[in-house]
């Protein structure tokens, strides 16, 4: 039983339905390690694991996952290190909405483009979250990672940030990120946010995980799904939103099986191949778990392979 050791290093271990930790509110159970110290993260990542951020880009299967799910706790969610200089190391569990608000209050520019994204800072780095108005990578200088049981600093330029992607080494846990924002005024920042806010107004308010499909080259997935007449298409409690065709909403009683079937129906009805944007756990073709650093290995692996 991991409990005693976990408590010693600053982790709590609970069996939880991942539906309660994701914005789409579907998904079965896992052993969730909530870590308040780097030592706890090190301990939690000894055995095979997955890292959970805000759960806002995640579809978890109804059977949950057998591996540990590692979350960073409140100790990694303090925005106070951000001061008027705009240069700060911030914990990876910091919710982006609060960070954006603090930056505006301090009159710091650079995060306007990520307004309204319900991610944690670490998850935003991993997905290079953003909009056409800007992305987290624009302000990112450096990250601190737990990798193979060791803490490492990696400059942003070495993270392979691209359109909604990064190439962090497999098994890396983002612990902290250093952002550099530009001093401006609260009024100017608020004005810049208006355009981002206006672009978001058409998005559904119901439970979702953001855009379900990546935009294919030269087109928008939402436009294609809408053109195929699929708004309102339903499987059980999962539905293509009326407000935005690239959003799947949970009407209250959706299961992962409903969502998967709905995605398949959309793909079958749209002529252009659509790739699912969400990370998927415990589902065919989904994201593999990271290997625990303490697990015996059959052969050495590269620490720099793309992720």
Ligand X SMILES: Cc1cc2nc3c(=O)[nH]c(=O)nc-3n(C[C@H](O)[C@H](O)[C@H](O)COP(=O)(O)OP(=O)(O)OC[C@H]3O[C@@H](n4cnc5c(N)ncnc54)[C@H](O)[C@@H]3O)c2cc1C
Residues acting as catalytic residues = 164, 211, 277
Question: For residues 86 and 256, what is the distance between their CA atoms, to the nearest angstrom?
Answer: 41
Among 16, 19, 58, 156, binds ligand X (CB under 6 A): 58
The answer to whether 51 contacts ligand X (rule: CB under 6 A) is yes
52 near ligand X (CB under 6 A): yes
Q: How far is the CB of 173 from ligand X (least distance, A)?
A: 5
Decide if residue 166 touches ligand X (CB under 6 A): no
Q: Which is nearer to ligand X, 6 or 209 (CB)?
A: 209
Name residues whose C-beta falls within 8 Å of residue 75's C-beta, 6 or more positions apart in sequence. 10, 36, 37, 91
Paired with 108 in beta bridges are: 183
Residue 261 or residue 287: which is nearer to ligand X going by CB?
A: 287
287 binds ligand X per the rule CB under 6 A: yes
Question: Binding ligand X by CB under 6 A: which of 30, 92, 147, 179?
Answer: 92
The smaller minimum CB distance to ligand X, of residues 124 and 235, is found at 124
Is 54 a binding residue for ligand X by CB under 6 A? The answer is yes
Which residue of 42, 50, 104, 280 would you call a contact of ligand X, by CB under 6 A?
A: 50
Build a one-symbol-per-residue string for 113-152: x at contacts with ligand X by CB under 6 A, - elsewhere: ----xxxx-xxx-xx-xxx---------------------
Rounded least distance, CB 183 to ligand X, Å: 25
Torsion sign, CA atoms 146, 150, 153, 159? negative
Q: Residues with Cβ < 8 Å from 155, sequence gap 6 or more?
A: 141, 142
User: Segment contacting ligand X (CB under 6 A): 35-43, 45-53, 231-239, 259-267?
Assistant: 45-53
Sign for the pseudo-dihedral over CA of 196, 307, 271, 266: negative
**Which residues pair with residue 14 across a beta bridge?**
32
Mask for 199-238, x = binds ligand X (CB under 6 A)? ---------xxx----------------------------
Told to check if 108 binds ligand X by CB under 6 A, we report: no
> Which tokens in the block code for residue 304?
């720099």
Question: In this complex, which beta carbon is closest to ligand X, that of residue 285 or of residue 296?
Answer: 285
In angstroms, what is the minimal distance from the CB of 38 to ligand X? 12
* Residues contributing to the site for ligand X (CB under 6 A): 23, 50-58, 72, 92, 117-120, 122-124, 126-127, 129-131, 164, 173-174, 208-210, 279, 287
């Amino acid at each position: 039983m991991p409990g005693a050791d976990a408590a010693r290093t600053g982790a709590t271990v609970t069996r939880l339905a991942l539906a309660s930790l994701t914005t789409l509110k579907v998904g079965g159970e896992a052993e969730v390690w909530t870590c308040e110290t780097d030592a706890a993260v090190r301990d939690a990542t000894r055995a095979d694991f997955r890292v959970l951020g805000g759960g806002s880009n995640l579809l978890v299967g109804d059977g949950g996952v057998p591996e540990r799910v590692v979350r960073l706790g409140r100790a990694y969610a303090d925005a106070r290190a951000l001061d008027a200089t705009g240069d700060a190391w911030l914990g990876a569990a910091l919710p982006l909405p609060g960070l954006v608000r603090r930056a505006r209050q301090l009159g710091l520019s650079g995060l306007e483009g990520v307004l309204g994204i319900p991610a944690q800072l670490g998850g935003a780095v991993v997905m290079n979250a953003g909009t056409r108005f800007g992305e987290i990578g624009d302000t990112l200088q450096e990250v601190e990672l737990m990798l193979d049981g060791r803490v490492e600093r990696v400059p942003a330029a070495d993270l392979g940030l691209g359109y909604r992607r990064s190439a962090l080494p497999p098994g890396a846990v983002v612990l902290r990120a250093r952002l550099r924002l530009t001093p401006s005024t609260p009024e100017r920042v608020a004005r810049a946010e208006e355009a981002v806010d206006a672009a978001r107004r058409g998005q559904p308010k119901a439970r979702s995980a953001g855009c379900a499909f990546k935009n294919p080259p030269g087109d928008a997935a939402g436009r294609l799904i809408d053109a195929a007449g699929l708004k309102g298409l339903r499987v059980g409690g999962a539905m293509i939103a009326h407000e935005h065709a690239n959003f799947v909403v949970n009407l209250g009683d959706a299961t992962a099986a409903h969502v998967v079937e709905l995605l398949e129906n959309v793909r079958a009805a749209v002529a252009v191949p659509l790739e699912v944007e969400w990370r998927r756990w415990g589902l065919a073709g989904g994201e593999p778990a990271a290997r625990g650093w303490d697990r015996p290995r059959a052969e050495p692996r590269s620490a720099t392979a793309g992720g």
